[in-house]
Amino acid sequence: MKQDLIEELKKIVKSKGLKYTKQREIVLDVIASSNRHLDTDEIHRLISDNHPDEKIGIATVYRSLSFLEEVGLVSSISIGIEPKKYELSMKEHHDHLICQNCGKIVEFCDEGIEKSQEKIAKKMGFKLTSHSMYLYGICQDCR
């Protein structure tokens, strides 16, 4: 599955007449390998940890993240005072529950909600392409 992502990246890069680089692959790999949402700093740190042989400048991390987000492989979001966090966007679809106190993000997927969304879109004459949903609240640990 991580391999699929890399193939996807290669395809995108080629179709745009751009270059495939180890750096872009590593940034994507780090995000794909994490089961959490990562902020820029964590991503940079994880690269040093997981790929000690490679040296990737912070500027390249930023450039890669922008690139990956622009082509739709990753997406980012920032809630309240939390720093911007990145995650894979091709990951099986999911929505988010966010604790307003500790910033914890829990992912979930609900068939019923997906169906309702389609129904509403149709009623309004929209052809849906994607969506994002964020539920805010206080998690068990913070109450």
Binding-site ranges for DNA (CB under 7 A): 13-14, 17-24, 40-41, 54-60, 62-64, 66, 83-84
CA atoms of 21 and 13, how far apart (whole Å): 9
Residue 66: enclosing H or E segment and its boundaries? helix 58-70
Residue (of 141, 30, 36, 12) closest to 85 by Cα position: 36
Identify the residue whose tokens are 């395809």. 11
Measured from the CB atom, the residue of 70 and 118 that comes closer to DNA is: 70
CA atoms of 116 and 61, how far apart (whole Å): 38
Binder of residue 2, out of DNA, a copy of itself, none (CB less than 5 to 8 A by kind): none
Task: Tell me which of 15, 19, 92, 143 binds a copy of itself, using CB under 8 A.
Answer: 143
Residues that bind a copy of itself (CB under 8 A): 66, 69, 75-81, 84, 97, 99-100, 106, 108, 110, 112-113, 116-117, 120-121, 124-140, 143
